[in-house]
Amino acid sequence: MEKTLVLIKPDGVERGLVGQILSVYERKCLRICKMKLIQADENLAKKHYEEHKDKPFFKELVDYLVSGKLVAMIIEGESAISIVRKENGDKDPLKADCATIRGMYANSRTKNLVHASDSLEAAKREISLWFPEV
Ligand code: CDP
Ligand code: MG
């Protein structure tokens, strides 16, 4: 079974959307293996978004990730990596399909509620970053 790292970012927690977001994954027969509500520090946020360190939006992105508590989880299931990315939807609110989490609830390119690993390698790296004990 495939595993992926998912974050419900601080706007999702702040807006009280944790339950709705989890239900999207659960109804798709994906299983939550590990889950925690935590406040990420800057070091963790920077490592998580390392691939974007040279982008103009990097600082805003890191500030956003540490702006409040977030939910980090490992989700498992058949094709979990692609299915979760599909359910999350496009990061551009103008492109996100209305049936996706971002399409339904997000209207910002930065504050877009969710993160999910985009490949097997990213999933491995991100799971060990957020759940070093695994
Ligand atoms: O999250 P996803 O993998 O779909 O997108 P990404 O291209 O890896 O970008 C990571 C995150 O950076 C996005 O989810 C947004 O929160 C943020 N971002 C932004 O603030 N401005 C952009 N122009 C692009 C991305
Ligand atoms: Mg990404």
pLDDT of residue 134: 87
CA of 115 relative to ligand 1 center, distance in Å: 9
Q: How far is CA 88 from CA 38, 77, 114, in A?
A: 21, 16, 7
The enclosing H or E element of 58 equals: helix 58-65
- 117 CB less than 6 Å from ligand 1? no
What six digits make up the tokens of 90? Answer: 């496009």
Q: How far is CA 81 from the centre of its chain?
A: 11
- 101 CB less than 6 Å from ligand 1? no
Chunked mean pLDDT (size 10), the chain, 134 residues: 98 98 98 98 98 98 98 98 98 96 97 98 98 94
- As to burial, measured by CB atoms within 10 angstroms (0-12 exposed, 13-18 middle, 19+ buried), residue 13 is middle
- The verdict on pTM exceeding 0.95 is yes
**115 in active site:** yes
Q: Whose CA is nearest to atom 11 of ligand 1?
A: 110
Mutating to test ligand 1, I would choose from 61, 64, 70, 121 the residue with most ligand atoms within 8 A of its C-beta, which is 61
- 61 CB less than 6 Å from ligand 1? yes
CA of 133 relative to ligand 2 center, distance in Å: 23
**Choice among 112, 115, 126, 127 that is catalytic:** 115
Q: What is the residue-averaged pLDDT of the chain?
A: 98
Q: How far is CA 80 from the centre of its chain?
A: 13
Q: Which residues 6+ apart lie within 8 Å of 69 measured at CB?
A: 10, 13, 37, 38, 39
pLDDT of residue 13: 98
Q: Which residues 6+ apart lie within 8 Å of 50 measured at CB?
A: none
